[in-house]
Each structure stands twice: as structure tokens, then as C-alpha cells.
Structure 1
Amino acid sequence: MIWKKFALLLIFLPSLEACHAQFQKELRYLDLYLGIRPDNNGEIPVEEAVGFATYIESPDELNCDFETECLWRNAPTDKLLDTSDWWYFKKNDEKTFPVQIQPGNPVIPKGEHFIIAGNTTKNPNGAVLSSAPIACQKGFANLTFSFWLYNNAQVEVIILRAMNRRRHLQVLLRPKMKCDFLGAANEECRVEIPPIKEPFRIGIRAFDLKDNTVGSLAIIDHIRYHGKICQQSPFPSSFSSLRIPPYDNSPLQRMSDLSCERPLRSCRWGNMAKSQLSEWRVGRSIDRWVDMFEITANQSHPNSSFLFLAVDSFSPRPYSTLTSQVIPCSQRTTSLSLKYWMKTGTQAEICAVDEDGIALSCAYLEPNDSPGPITIDLDSYAQPFKFTVGIIAFDESSFGLLAISELRVGGLLCTEPAPPIVTTISPPVIQHIFGLQPGNGRYVPYDLSLNCDFTKDYCNQWVNYDGVVKYGVMPRDSNVFPVPKGVKGNVAVFLMQNATVSNLRSRMVPCSYNGRIDVEYMRSEDAQVRICALEQCVDGNATNGKISIGVSSTTPFYVSIEASSRNDAVVIINKVSTSGEFCPLKSAEDTVCDQLVCNFRETFCSYETTVEKPGDVPVIKTPNGATVTLNGGGIRAILRSPTFDLAYPSILTITLSQSTFGSRVLLCPDDTSDPTLCHELAGPRVLDSSEKQVMFPLDIGARSFSLVLLHDKSLEFGPATFNIKSMELRTVNDEPMCF
């Protein structure tokens, strides 16, 4: 009966704060039969929270008799290892514990405190008592404590990572131990803990707390921890590291003095922090590199000494930043390049800051770009500034780690003489320093105005057909190419080798009234550039600046930016702008429809008839179509298309008639093509003169064609009359393309 009543208390252990009458009754039973009662409302007296946020400095700090505040507390419930709590009790009289509670000393002095975990559920519960964090443990250590168990309850020691991951306790190891109900009377639990190289906590866990009839419980007291521990995080001493040596603070002579490829020698970078516990250090080996960064063995690593920062949740804040010596001022762009590695979950940034630490520019280090190298550029700055590298966040369930190497700084101090500029143009060098690449093609949609800012867009309303024009980024302060101040960003580049002529031509402009077109450009010495429209051209005489042309027309026209060279040369186009009135450009689809679709009634539309050689005769406009008769005085007639750009592959459909056997209708690339290179649309086997439709697929690369009407058999078969009624465009799905 005593144990039945005693078990009732365990129902209420998880709810000591609920002070109703039934609960007080069970507490009286527990006091009556065991002589114990909760103290401090069941809450374990613990040190202030700061004690659990820093590493202990001595193992004695974990010794605890529960008579005063201790560095042990209930672990946060994670629904796995920990589903219950330990509660704070006090011996209220001199009663001894019954034999069902073993193996600790049954005689507990009156007034002594201890902690209890218990439960009466069907499903087993567990309660974890967790220590303050320990930086690391050197060699073996011993943990002892007094314990009592009842009704199949068990106790174990677990070594936990210092921080939880996703609110779950992380077990590093379970030391070998034998602490159970069958231990010798008055026996303490003794556990040998092996060396541990990373931050951890010690957990004492009661488990198998179950039995919905009489309950089960565990009691512990007199915790002792003996061993040799680290007093600070072991991470900074990784990689056989040394502190960054102090540097000579004498004035910089060259910007390159800030390069730090050998951190233990003449490196003008240092820590900016008050604490040595979270500072940048010099790594001299890659031992444990794979483990620390949690990467595979075949991934990259530094090839020489490197700088690194390792911090965890207990490292003093703010964390140190790696800081360069102050740069008095710069006359050109300053470039900082480095390789870097980051542990997953670490976030870091590089900043340029002024003397007061106010950021001028910052760039985040992206995990996907590691190891680099990456380059950070800062425009010329007339005031003192410096560079900083630091960790801004990390996964606090683990630790943060950032390593950098091959740190190089380039640029010019204000006091540093500028090197002479080399004006010789080398196409491979230009290709490299501009990062030139083709555009996205002339077949994509484009803006319906001539205005173009190449820093923002490929501007497909301006088309280059010979591949001379490419797109890239204007180099900053290049020693091999003079760059005017203010010209930066993306540009269009004519890269010309030897004597070359090329142009960037606009899409067809329907009309303009008092319009003006301005082109911002730059050219090398052996290049010429001009803008042309309506049979007028204006030259760009200066090596950089703006050229302008006025245009007024009620009929469609084109505008061309033309570049030429006597030798290797470049012409750079930065921007095209307009003023005045311009009719909106037509889309590529509308333009090609206007150019190629025609009913040929008293018109050739945009087509032309040409006479290239003896035997050619012109085609004639009639109300019924474009007509020609070949009767021996002439054997060929040509109808030539305008130059066009297709938006997508199309089908050219021609409605025509021809009257005589032996006559032929050919579609040729141009007027001068050999007939064997042309496609036969109709003939020479002509059986009647009725109208028919012939079709020809136009590839997206087609830009013009000539319709050749040929009859050299008039002596045998008589004259031949050709009549072209219409030309239309259809899609490859045989749907009308123009409306």
C-alpha cells in the first residue's frame, strides 16, 4: 500500500507548479513514507545563463551537491532523448530509503538536496541533465555521481555536442559504463570519458521511466568531474596555427604592398578585435581540413600557409575581422583578389570601409564561387580607406569557419607614379580584357526605338551581320588600353584586325521629323567611326566623344554606325540616343511582312528588277501582276528581294504562271548565282499556263533572294510569258504569317 501511494506522486512530477488539493495530498504521502519533499518549487538552482554560454575554465566548476547553484540544468526537450525533466527535492527527515530503491546509500542526511526524474506512463520517458559547455578534454577524465533507481529505471552518461541542431540533442558518444540497479550497495556511478577534441557537454540521462501502475524513478546527487580540459575553443588552434605577426606600420609605397601571399612574412593585415579567443590566425597545415570543412577528400585546399577564422556560439563577440593597413587614397580602381573556403552554413563578406569603419562597399562571399579566385573592385577614392574580411553569421548548432589564401591587392596609390599606357592594339588582349562575347542574336524581340544603352541591353534593334561587333565590359584603369573617365560598364565593341570595314545597322525606321541621333563612342588611333543615314555621313574625329546626325524622312530608311581601320583597332559604342520625332520601329515580323509580301498589281513593292548582263530583260508592272515575255531577244529576267531579317523560319509562297515548255522559274541566292546553285521552283516541263502556287522554305539565316525567270529554248518551243501574281509568307505550320 505504501508503494501504491508513493507511485501516485510520480504522476505529478512533471507538474509541480499545479498546486491543487490532490497534489498536496500526494506530496504529504511522499513526505510521510520517504521523508522527501520538493524544494524551490521543484526548480533546480542553476548559475546565471551566462555561465552556460561560456566554456568552463576548470573541471571543478561541474562539481555539484545541489546545495548551491550549479552549472547543470535540464536539457531542452527534443521529444527523442529528452521527454521529461529532473526535479529538485530535499530530505525532510531521517527516514531511510526502502530496499526497492538501489544502489545508493539509503541513509540520506536530513536537509540534503538531490534531483529526481520519474514517470508513470506506458511509453518510456527520458530526462537529460546537461552541463555547461566544455571547450575540449585532453586525455581521459572521470565523472562520478551517487544514484538511486526504482522499478526498472536506468541511467546513462552521454556526451553531447555543445550546441543542439534543429532543437535536437546531438550525441557525440556514449562512454562505456555499468551503473544499474544491481550495483553494490552505496556504490557510485563511475564513468571514464575518453579525450574529446571539440566542444561538448556532459549529459546524465534517466530513461525507461515508465509503469502506469506503480511508476519508476531515478535520483542523482554528488556529481564530480575530474580531468584536464581546454579553457578555450580548440578551433582557433587547428591547422597547426600561429597568431598573425604584427606588421610594420610604415607608409605604403605601392598598392601591391598590401598583397598577403605569405601570411607569416611581411603581411600588412591584422586582427581588429579585443579578444584573442575569436581572432584570425595563420594556418600552416591542412590536417583535419576535410573534417573541419565537412567536405570530400578530393576537394580543393590551400597550397601554402593561409589565414582563417574559426568561431562557435561561445566565442566572444564581436568576432574579429581581418583588416588591411589603411590606404591613404587611390587614383585608380583598387582590386582585391583571393581564394576562399567556407564551412557549410557560414556567411562572410569583404568590405571597403573608411577610417571610421563606415562601409563604402561590401560583397558577400558566395559558397558556389568557392574557392575562386574572386576579385573585388573599388573605384578610385580620395580619402583613407581599408579592406576588411569577416564572418557575419554561421550555423550556431556547429561552428563557423572561413579560410582565405593568395590574397592580392592591385591598383595605384595617389602618391604612386602611373605606368605608361601602351596604345598598341592586340586583338587577343582586347578580347581578354573586355571579356568579349557574341550577342544574343538578331532574331530576338527588340525595343521599337533607336535609343540604346549598351550598359543595360544588347539592343537588338541595332544589327551587325559580319560578326565583327561583340559585347563586353569596359576594363577599369587598364594599363594596356586608355579608358576615358566616366566610360564604364557593358559596351558594344568593333574588334577589327588589319584593314576592316564593318557596321552596326538599325532596323528599318519608318519615318522621322526633325530627328537627331547621337552616338557616344571611343576609338583607338587606327580606327575611324561615322554615323550614316539618308545618304549622309558624319565622322567622329576625336578619339572619344559623341557624333550626331539630323534626319527627316517620310519614307523608311536605315541608320548605320560604320567603323573602319587601317590596322588592328577597336571602336567602342556606349550609347545611342535620339531627340525629335521618330516613328516607332516595326517588329521583326511586321518588317519582313512589309518587305516580302506583295500582290504585284502595278507595283514591285520592295522588290527590284535588274539587268545584269546581255540577255537580261526587265520585268514589267501590270494591273495583273509582274510580267515578262522571253522570246529570243532576252533569255532571263530577275526580280530581286530587299535585304530582310526573318524572326523565325518561314515558307515563301509564290503564285505565278508560265506559258511555254522549257521555261524555268528559279530561286537563287543572288543575281549572279550559277543556275546549278539555284532551286527549281517550276519548269522546264510546262504542260499548261494556268496559275499555280510554288513554295520554298526560308531558313532563319536567309537575308535575300532573287527570283530568276529563265527561257533559253525559244527557238525550239517559242516565246515564254511569265506572270508573278503574288508572294506571301506562311509559318512552318502552314498558317498565315502576315495579316
Structure 2
Amino acid sequence: MDKYINIASQLNCDFSTNCLWANAPSDGLLDNSDFYLFQKNNDKTFPLQVGPGNSNPEIGTYFAFAGNLTKDPNHATLISAPIACQSTTGILSFELKKYFFLEIFLNLFLRYWLYNNARIEVIVLKVNPTRGHLTVIERPITDCHYLKPNGLCQVEIKRQPQPFRLALRGFKLNDQTIGSFVLLTKIKYEANLCGFYVNVSHTAHWSIGEKTYLWEQIVRTPSKPSGQFYFQFIDPIAEFPLPQLRSVLVPCTQSPSTLSFKFWLSPGVQAQICTLGTDNVALSCVYLNEADVPGPLTVDIDTADHQPFRFAFNVLRVDREANGGGAVIALDEIKYNGWLCHEQTPTTSPSPIPPLASLLQLRPLPTANSVDASLAFPNSLECDFEQGDLCPHWMHNSYSDSVTVDSGMRLQQRFRLGLVPRGILPLPFPIDGRFRGKYSAVAVLDLRAQEEQFAILTSRPIDCVDGGRVSISYFASPGAQLSVCANEQCVYPKENVLEVNQLRKFALNSARPFRIRIVAERNRSFPINLINGFYEPFVLIKRIAIQNKGFCRLKSSEEITCNLLKCLFNEEGICRYKSLFLAAGDVPFVHKKGEGISAHFTSGMRRAVLRSPNFRISLNSQIEMHLIASLSTFGSRLYICPNDQQQQTQRKLLAEIETMGEGMFVEEDDTLKELGNCEPLLGPKVVRSKMEHLIIQLDPEIRHFSLVAIHDKFEQFGDAQIVIHSIKLNDLNGQSIC
């Protein structure tokens, strides 16, 4: 099940022997039950309710069986071995039977005429689940129902240019009284598969390409290379380590040299570029950061030992949970600049001062979004860049109170992590020896720019402080200065004083929440001619020390999330949530004092969306969200949908509903399919309106969610109303996290 098939017929199966089909891992959405092997071992015919297949199959016939006797809906999914790709339209066929369970008790005989409600569908899936959920690529039209005359289900599979699995899904396997089941056998798959290298150790070889079909789906960025480019496609079952892309040997360089290139990465791909010695041992490596895509990225090469070396690109890891399907790394516009030892350098005037980005080997600092929340929310504001601490809890640009996304303010410069060389730098002024050979947070400014130049380090929110002390060890070059702000008050350096090696100390007092902002900016009190042609003033920060005595305890990510999400809607209104309008037919949530917030559905009104604020919780957190809500009318439903991808799914659902006309009935199952990864919370079976207490486990991977109410049954059941009373967050012991 973890190897690609060679020919389509390998998926043919009558279940009499082992087949390349298996039960899908249960994800609670597409699959929460299993298929079992069933054999007919006598000459009895199936009851009339079993159809539409042959009512008397041969003795010894094997079937895949899925069924249940439950109140809640069950769905069982059978998945195939992976298929590399399909070059033409394919045909999948199988024989099926569907039936309700008929229970016979002693001394009691019951006769039933039953509507056969069990269903079967064919799905095209990504090879690997995404964050524990089966990921749908396509749902082909599956016209296989109880009234089919011959019991033969035939489904067309469109051309598939990416790796995929086929899935047979039985659903609506529920009836608390008599149950239901699905039987299927004689699976047959006919298709032309793409040519695929099955006899080599690696399928993820580097290649040269120029087509960008499905680029935005796989790489998920609008920018793309032009013309030909290097790429490596990592298929969903590729084994590590993967092949590297290596350059020829560079024999020897006599001056600093650089390699620049543009690159693109699929989400979840971790890659690096290294210099290798003649023994292929890595000399130094630089990680490729998704934030730098598409570049160009410039890598500087030292000239210390004049030894031969080569460059090598390689992928270290692919997060299968983030992708589910294949992943790509692409390279373009690779350029190498430098002087080899045998080359004669031109005799010209001295070159200008190299850019500081090259001299200090600057690289981006991580954002809080790129690390686990437990690292972004430590117990102290202490930060030691000198020891290589990346300090994600000091953000290098402005951000919102949720500490999850940028506020939208695009700063012109940012702090980066840099290494000050031990030797003498080609600068018109010295750098204090205590900064040499050490890491620092570096802000580089530009005297030539007309607009203001500044960069900001911002702390986590601080609830209060009484006599707390903060000290900052830093160096400011001519033309730059450092100021510190807190509670809308700033401390600036003295005018006309050259900041060489400063230790800025200040005390803080505040009874209300605030942040500390460390601002690097241009110092215009120094004339440009004093800098001797140097146009990149800069600030180095090597340490931020905090005297924690006097500071209130810093809140954890879970406490911050709790303060963001909890809301007594009946008393406080909509709190930090937003009522969204994404398409025609959306209705708002409005506050009803004493009850909560409600959305009222009348003719033409079909959906209400309530979006949460952004939040972050640690990967090992276990948080329960307690939601109290009610529905008034049969047919109405309430879902919870994680992240923005569900908004697109919901817009598609509404568009399809609108095209069906006012008098058309939309089956509940079709709606559920279009809502994708959304989880149903309430409905559609509503006997009477009452407040329901729902408990939802928050997934550490999500950053926000939407509560989506749907009522598309107005013509059948009339007006509907949803009321949301409150949301609270508790730990597993039932204690409030706030």
C-alpha cells in the first residue's frame, strides 16, 4: 500500500485474495468506520431489500462489507494503493449491494418495507492525509443507487496529473432500529497511467522544466520562474535522504565570492544550500526560508583556506501533514560572482564598502508564527542574541494583540540576526571588540532614502509592572540611534553624542497592559559627510536583560487565547468575533440582551458566518471549548470550520444552492460534502428549540475558526433562528484557563 502501482489492473479485486485496497485511517470526517471481509457460504438468496445486484451470487463469493446499527451517521472508506498519475480518463467499476439490517428476535417476527438509504461514492484523494484528515482532490459523479438496474457501478475518473489514491466510500450507514450496510465486489480499474520510474532507488531526481501547470496548487504562490528552471518534485511516498543538486568543484577563490539564486518551496518543505569539501562533507549551510521566496537570495563564501568546494542544494524534510500530496523545490537565475585564484583581478580604484548584509551575514529572525507557541510565549522577556538566541517572543515588526499575524503595517526595515566578524571590517569607524565574533540583532538603515528609516523590536504584552528594570546592550554606528518606548512614552539618546557601546537602562511602572518597543532609526543630527561615504548606518543589539522583580507574571499562549475567545454573548455582545458577509444570502449575527447573539433566516437567507479572532496555542496543549447554542427549526445546521480555506468552500456551497432555484430541495448529504473539513455541531434534526452544551477540542494547528449556520430548507420548514449564548475555554479537568 506504500508503493505506486505499475498498471491499472493491479487494483482489480474480487476479495478472494489479498488486494491493493485497505481501510482508510479514520479521520472522523470522511471515515469513522471500517469495511470487513464477507463470504456467502450457502445457496440462500438475498432478501428483496438487498439490491440492485444479483440476489443469488455464487456460493463462495467474497464481498467488502460495511455497515452499522447506530444513531449517528457512519462512513467507511476503502482506499487504493497510490497511483503516480493518470494520463487519460479512467473507468472504475464494481458490483454493489445495499441493505438495511433486519433484526429477528426469539418469539417475534417483524416484516418491513424499507427504503434503502445506504449510499456509495467514489473519491479521488491525495496520497497522504493532511493534518490527520483525508484530503479530497475530486469527487467524480457516482450514479450508483438502489434503483440501478444491473447492480454495476461505473464511474469515470478524469485525468489526474498528480499522485493520488482512489477511494470507495460507503455512507449513511446508520439506523438505530434496523441499521444499514453496503456490500461490494469485483472492483475493476481501467486507465492509462503515466510513465514512472519504478526500478530506481529514488523517484525525486532533479530535472529541468519550463511548464508551471498546477503551480499555485502545489507551490501556493503566484510568483513563478520564467523559462527553464531546475526543480525537484518530491512525491508523497519518496524516501529520504533525497538526491542533491550539486555544482562542479570551485578550485580556489582569491576574494569574497557570492552565489545568488531565486527559489520556490511548497509549504512544509525544509531545504538548505551547503558548501561541500572534496570529501563531500558540509563546510557550512544556509537554510532556505519560505519568507524569502522568491528572492533572489545571496550566499557569501569565505576565503579563509583557499580549499576546493562545491555547492549543493538538498531537501531535508517534507511535512506530509501540511501537504498531503507532492511537494516541489524550484531554482532559477543561479549566479556566481567571485575571482578564482588563477584569474587576474582588474586594477581599478578601490571597491566601495561591501553591503552590510554581506559583511554581517544577515539572515531573517523567526516570527512567532514559525515556531511552537511554547517558544514564542516564554516566562521572561530576557533575550540573548549574543549566544545565538533567536528570541521569537521579541517580534521584529508590529503585530496585533493576538500575536499571530502582522498588523498590516509594513516597516521599511527589519531586525535580522547577524554575526560580526572577528577581524577588521572595511568601515570608516571601529566596532567595539565586545561585539566581534558574536551574534547580534542588526537593523540596517539607508541614508540615501528620502522616507523615514526605522526598525522595531516589540515585546509580548505585559499586563503590569511596578519598578521593573530593563537594560539593553547595543552599538549604534554614526548616523543611527536607539530609542526605547513603553506606554506611549519614549526615551531618546542625548543629542550630538556618538553611541559606540551603550548600556541603556530604564525603570518601568504601569498599572495597565503595555508593550516595550525598541526602535532603531536614523540620527539626522550627524552630517552625512562625517560618515566618509558610508551610507548604511546600523544598530547592533546583543542582549536584553530584564529584572523580573516588579513585572506581573506573563500570560501563557493558552491564557491569551482564552481571553480572546471567551465571550458571554448574552451580556457582552459579539466581543472580538466578527459577523462576515461573503456572498448574497448571508445574514448577520445581532445581539439580543439576555439571550446571546442570533441570526434569523427568512426566504432567500441561507447562511450566517461568525469568525473568531486569531489565536495561538502550544502544540502539546489540550483545550476544550464549551459552546452553548440552539437551533429553532428542522433542517437548519451549525458547523465549525477551521481557518480561511473553509470560507472558499462555503462560498462555493452558496453559489451552487442559489443556482438550483427557490423551489428545489438540497439533500443534506450534498451540503455536507461541499463543507469539506467543517465539522457538524448541531442539526439538521431539530425536534424543539433548546440550548445545547457542546464541547470542542481545539486543534493546536489552527489559527482561527468560523461558526457557520446554514438553513437552506425555508421552502420546506419555514423561518429559522440560531442563538449562540456563550463560549468558554477549559482544561481537561474542567477548570477555566483564563
TM-score by length of 2: 0.46
- In terms of fraction of residues, the more strand-rich structure is 1
Structure with greater Cα Rg: 1
TM-score by length of 1: 0.46
